[in-house]
Amino acid sequence: MLRQEWIRFKAALNGVFELFRSEKHARLHLVALLAVLILGFLCRLTTSEWTAVLLASGLVLASEALNTAVEKLCDYVQPRHHHEIGKVKDLAAGAVLIASLTALVVGCLVFIPYLKIWLES
């Protein structure tokens, strides 16, 4: 039983590595996450602030992974342009946009008060 779980975990980890290896936007989101982590440590975020920032960041990365999976599946099923497949891909990309904008708003809510304090001192 444990061996099966390990195999599944390795497969999921391979998916994460494939995401960052093959997708430029996923790497961009990862760089943004690293910048947010550094800024979070500098600001000494509270536990609830860390929770909000990490949940928003995880939502973006998970959305990017699902978008990539949908796009790859669509390209496999229908290699040529198809109007309905295009709509599916647009919807998946829209999910990433929604997650990214949500993360941006969360980031502003968390970090702007700290930036105001830094600018006033």
Give the active site residues. Answer: 64
Which amino acid, one-letter code, is at 63?
Answer: S
Q: Answer whether 56's CB lies under 8 Å from 102's CB.
A: yes
Report d(CA 1, CA 57) in Å as an integer: 32
Report d(CA 6, CA 44) in Å as an integer: 35
Which amino acid, one-letter code, is at 77?
Answer: V
DSSP alpha helices (H): ranges in 44-82? Answer: 47-77
Report d(CA 23, CA 44) in Å as an integer: 31
Q: Pull the structure tokens for residue 2.
A: 């444990």
